[in-house]
Amino acid sequence: MTLAVPDQLAVATALAADAQPSKPVLSVSVIRVKPGHFEEFMALQTAHLERIRGTVAGVRGGRLFKSAEKNTVLMLSAFETAEDGARFRQDPRFREHLDLAGAMIESSEALPLELAYEIGVI
């Protein structure tokens, strides 16, 4: 008689496939940029993203939507937990970024949101 030893990676993969994925913690910010500062603001945002990419614990991802003719951006950030989002907001690199970007922002509103439904891939 031969005993079969299950492959641990295959078992872990199968168990993970059956597990319910946790819902991300989402934050949406609507930012209105002062007239004449839109391109400068976008360059600052891009530089900030490149500086922190891959270094923020708990981040699932983000999107930045822009409307240059309205001087407005909509930023969507997704974190594993609310604590991850709170920790990021205290990150010195983020605080420094806010100080730099603040001079270019006319108004900003952030809303914590919960995913109600999802269709397709964005």
pLDDT digits (tens, 9 = 90+) for 81-98: 989 989 998 999 999 999
CATH of residue 55: 3.30.70.100
Alpha carbons within 13 angstroms on the beta-carbon side of residue 30 total 3
19 — pLDDT class (breaks 50, 70, 90): low
Domain boundaries, position 70:
23-113
Residue 74 inside a domain? The answer is: yes
**Is residue 18 a part of any domain in this protein?**
no
Give the pLDDT band of residue 1 (cuts 50, 70, 90). very low
- Report whether pLDDT(18) > 70: no
**107 falls within a domain:** yes
**Is residue 11, in this structure, part of any structural domain at all?**
no
pLDDT tens digit sequence for 27-70 = 999 999 999 999 999 999 999 999 988 888 899 999 999 997 88
Instruction: For the full predicted model, state whether its pTM sits above 0.85.
Output: no
Residues with Cβ within 8 Å of 72's Cβ and at least 6 positions away in sequence, in order, are 30, 31, 32, 33, 66
Tell which residue, 103, 80, 87, has the closest CA to residue 34: 103
Residue 16 domain flag: no
**4 in a domain, yes or no?**
no
Residue 88, domain member (yes or no): yes
Q: Tell me, yes or no, whether 14 lies in a domain.
A: no
Domain count, the chain: 1
